[in-house]
Structure 1
Amino acid sequence: MDIRQIANLAEISGGYDAVFCDVWGVLHNGVRSWPAAWKALAAAREAGKAVVLITNAPRPAGPVSEQLASLGVPDEAYDDIVTSGDVTRALISEGARLVFHIGPDRDTSLYDGLDVELVEEREASAVVCTGLFDDNTETPADYGELLQRLRARNLPFICANPDIVVERGDRLIYCAGALAKDYGLMGGRTLIAGKPHAPIYREAMARAAKVLGREVGRDRVLAIGDGLTTDVKGAMDYGIDLLFISDGIHAREYGTPGNPDPEKLAAHLDGFGAHPVATMKNLA
């Protein structure tokens, strides 16, 4: 499979009305941002495109915007943000009121304004997972016994961040999706609204239409991302085009960071059934 490789977003963005861009792995790595990436998005906005950031962050858009600003990504780089946390709030509000939270305290803004009570494990009627309690030191293996107890009670498991891993600097850290995967393998019921699932894309489409003042066809939307099971699968399932960023979480699977092997990259994408309209090492 021949894949078009481009040097800058402007080479292909002219055919689209809206851009849905991933955040972690494309705009930043949790430690620093990449100016060329946000400048490319700002240029797309100046050209009349609606730029919506679409991220599996388990927090609402406000805290994500604050994090972006702290990393040097200015407001002019995007029109709106849709997070997995935003669309997960609907799942939480539709479920049981007594919730056991798995994840760091910094994610509890997810529940602001919702009619739920955070309780201890033994009192819960549902589980909401935003991540590991301490993703610097823990792995999914540390949660085996806890997940077995929750599964024994058949509690629904709402996953606020479908990512399995993300890069933090030069390290890969585990996310809520890793625990949801393990819970599902135990036969537990998992509920997920973030990428690659449709709710987050439907919301992004609505936000883009609001920016442009008109409806947007799926054939006029370009997604940008680096994750196969989230960004790539999400775009494929929703029927929108994809620009694949190769120097992301999968970089070591088809070369070394910053130096992908074109043949291995093509085989990697083809093996997943993915056919992006183009690839770039990094967004620019």
Structure 2
Amino acid sequence: MTQIIRSLADLSGRYDALFCDLWGCLHNGVTPFPAAVAALQTFRAQGGKVILVTNSPRPKSSVLKQMDGMGLPRDTWDDIASSGDATQAAMLSGAAGPRVHHIGAPRDEPFFTDFEDDLAHLTATADITRVPLDQATGIVCTGLADDLTETPDDYRAKLLMAKTKGLKMLCANPDIIVDMGDKRLYCAGALAKEYEEMGGEALYYGKPHPPIYDLARKRLGMEDARILCIGDGVHTDVQGGLGEGLDTLFVTGGIAATEFGPDFHNPNDDLLLKWLDGHQLSATYAIGYLR
């Protein structure tokens, strides 16, 4: 049964490391959450390690630039593992073939140019060319070109053409939606879902799928660590943690906040358990907001 806790400090001494989600837990896409920042700083000050595990389709360098831009202190975390990093590794390994077509925003361009040092063994031998869709052997989808105005319906014709050509889609962000401030936006996962419903093949590298956890463990660099996965996505953070055999802390005040009663800081126990049962999932712990 899921245990509701008041703060991360309630779990003091139980875990060596945290795999912590970013969007919805540490920030809302615009500003950091001070209480969440303080909680992670305290965990690290007590000897714990924090890996930010994010479904951002961008490489670590771009995630870091975004966090710096919104003022997220660097002493909040030890390292970052992004879905973008894990998808880069797949692309460089040939999962989409040698000629890839990109579906995504101009801000995602670093996906094709900025690679972390632990991918150097792949960049040394990869021969990937970006091409128009009609010349492609596969697709890399980092999101919508303009997520402020577009929806998956705007991509139906392009996706149908890709499906007809039998192209694999590498989905660099399995999230369906995300809240940016008070605006809800579609992510790459929404296009991948649409593609699969048409009969196309989509491959995923972020939460809840294993590649991003393999990368996070590599960057954690600790043997036999007691790891707690933290996040507000029941089908990404919670399901992913469960799939890895790890304990999970579900942040109820994130994307599903309205499901658990009017007090977003204190989820209703009965509503929470009923909602989790409906999703056939059970987090180890739950908390209103990370603090």
**Which TM-score tier does this pair reach, normalised by the shorter chain?**
over 0.9
Secondary structure of 1:131's counterpart equals coil
Please say if 1:103 is aligned against 2:113.
Answer: no
**What are the superposed Cα offsets for residues 212-245 of structure 1, whole Å, 9 maximum, x if unpaired?**
xx4034xx11000000111111011111000110
Identify which of 261, 265, 275 aligns with 2:282. Answer: 275
Shift of 1:24: 0.6
Please say if 1:251 is aligned against 2:257.
Answer: yes
Q: What root-mean-square deviation, in Å, do the aligned CA atoms of Structure 1 and Structure 2 show?
A: 1.5
**What are the superposed Cα offsets for residues 50-90 of structure 1, whole Å, 9 maximum, x if unpaired?**
10000000111111111111112111000000000111111
Kept in 2, the 8 Å contact 1:35–1:73? The answer is no
Q: Which residue of 1 aligns with 2:142?
A: 130
Q: Aligned residues: percent identity?
A: 46
Q: Which residue of 1 aligns with 2:217?
A: 205
Shift of 1:91: 1.1
Paired residues for 1:37-116 under 5 Å: 37-95=36-94, 96-112=97-113, 114=123, 115-116=127-128
Secondary structure of 2:3's counterpart equals coil
Which one is further off, 87-96 or 111-120?
Answer: 111-120
Kept in 1, the 8 Å contact 2:20–2:53? The answer is yes
| Structure-1-length-normalised TM-score | 0.93
Shift of 1:32: 1.2
Shift of 1:136: 0.3
Q: Which runs of 5+ in 2 are unaligned?
A: 116-122
User: Structure 1 runs of 4+ off > 4 angstroms?
Assistant: none
Shift of 1:201: 0.7
Report the AA paired with residue 178 of structure 2: V
Report the AA paired with residue 97 of structure 1: P
Secondary structure of 2:4's counterpart equals coil
Q: What is the rounded CA distance, in whole Å, between the counterparts of 2:240 and 2:263 in structure 1?
A: 24
Q: Which residue of 2 aligns with 1:216?
A: 224
Report the AA paired with residue 224 of structure 2: V
Q: What is the rounded CA distance, in whole Å, between the counterparts of 1:12 and 1:141 in structure 2?
A: 44
Q: What is the rounded CA distance, in whole Å, between the counterparts of 1:35 and 1:90 in structure 2?
A: 33
Q: What is the rounded CA distance, in whole Å, between the counterparts of 1:256 and 1:208 in structure 2?
A: 37
Report the AA paired with residue 288 of structure 2: K
Q: What is the rounded CA distance, in whole Å, between the counterparts of 1:191 and 1:276 in structure 2?
A: 26
Secondary structure of 1:229's counterpart equals helix
Kept in 1, the 8 Å contact 2:144–2:187? The answer is yes
Residues 1:246 and 1:230: Cα distance change in structure 2 (over 3 Å): same
Q: What is the rounded CA distance, in whole Å, between the counterparts of 1:215 and 1:78 in structure 2?
A: 19
Number of residues paired by the alignment?
A: 277
Shift of 1:256: 4.6
Kept in 2, the 8 Å contact 1:91–1:191? The answer is no
Identify which of 194, 198, 208 aligns with 1:182. Answer: 194
Q: What is the rounded CA distance, in whole Å, between the counterparts of 1:118 and 1:208 in structure 2?
A: 32
Paired residues for 1:1-16 under 5 Å: 3-16=2-15
Secondary structure of 1:243's counterpart equals strand
Report the AA paired with residue 106 of structure 2: D
Paired residues for 1:15-30 under 5 Å: 15-30=14-29
Q: What is the rounded CA distance, in whole Å, between the counterparts of 1:254 and 1:11 in structure 2?
A: 21
Shift of 1:266: 1.4
Identify which of 166, 175, 181 aligns with 1:169. Answer: 181
Kept in 2, the 8 Å contact 1:58–1:83? The answer is yes
Identify which of 151, 154, 160 aligns with 1:139. Answer: 151
